[in-house]
Amino acid sequence: MAIKINKGGVLGLLDLTPMIDVVFNLLVFFMCATSFHSAVERELDVNLPNAESAGAVEAPPEELVITVRADGAVFVGGEPKEREQLLALLRTAAQSDPETPVTIRGDRQAEHQAIVSVMDACGLAGLFNLAVGTTTLEEG
């Protein structure tokens, strides 16, 4: 004699489409939000120097990236900054978090004084967690 098993009708009515839509939308949102910050800094045309120990840049969202072009112009967030503007911005960052990491991306053709001036401004503002942006020998 065959035994009849009642599988129930509730599981057959469960629709996962709305949950998949929500997960997909969250995935798209976070992909766009995380890559948006670093894209602004990478738009500036800077020829970085080589370093054997250079690795992939994994910047946290609160990292402050300062770019120094070959002509000595200083940019933060894609916008040019004069020394006083840069110092005010750095002091504000130091007040919110004195451990704020600062990456200085100086063009290899930039004068050393321009990069030292940025480092000096960081020191005056109270930021000492500094890094210098480089590329690997294969990239350069």
- The tokens 């910050």 sit on which residue? 37
The CA dihedral of 27, 97, 76, 28, to the nearest 10 degrees, is 0
60 and 37 Cβ atoms separated by less than 8 Å: no
Cα–Cα dist 126/74, whole Å: 19
Give the pLDDT confidence of 52-94 residue by residue, as tens digits.
Answer: 776 665 544 478 999 999 999 999 988 999 999 999 999 999 9
Identify the pLDDT of residue 18.
85
Give me the mean pLDDT over the 28-36 stretch.
73
Give me the mean pLDDT over the 24-40 stretch.
73
Mean pLDDT for the chain overall: 81
Fill in the DSSP letter of residue 56: -
